[in-house]
Structure 1
């Protein structure tokens, strides 16, 4: 069972964030929210969630990529 599609339009993305579509567009323009997926007018819910986590302080903005962390911790150097 899913919570709907992962990619959502501007109105759905705004509703997902609990803000108006106009405010969502302003947040995208000011880089508060991510850009739509390249070549589409759809936003990835996971990208929105990640950005909201950063804005609310749940995750540091400069969190290390999990793959890069694994490579650093498991390198033979």
Structure 2
């Protein structure tokens, strides 16, 4: 007998801050395969570094990448996340 467990999230996808690959792909409106290609090409951000083998993407980073891909720039103070700050100091 094979037992399969599924992670039950406390929040619906539209209210979460971090997505797995399939969720991130769905969020930006592409297939998981195309999303992986966009990550490899540097169009979409790399996964967060703090989840070990599990690959997770930050919603705000996906939003910024989408904005940049269509030429939308922020006005006023730059949008930064804790991940952006970590990446700036840790490479």
TM-score (norm 2): 0.61
How far apart, in 1, do the equivalents of 2:15 and 2:67 lie? 21
How far apart, in 2, do the equivalents of 1:59 and 1:44 lie? 19
Superposed CA offset, 1:8-66 (max 9, x none): 00000000010000000000011010001113210001000001111101117xxx847
Give structure 2 stretches of 5+ with no counterpart.
1-11, 80-91
The Cα of 1:4 is off from its aligned counterpart by 2.1
**Which position in structure 2 is the counterpart of 1:52?**
66
Q: In terms of Rg, which structure is larger? A: 1
RMSD: 2.5
**Which position in structure 2 is the counterpart of 1:15?**
26
- Matched residue count: 65
TM-score (norm 1): 0.72
Q: Look up the SS of the partner of 1:25 in the other structure.
A: helix
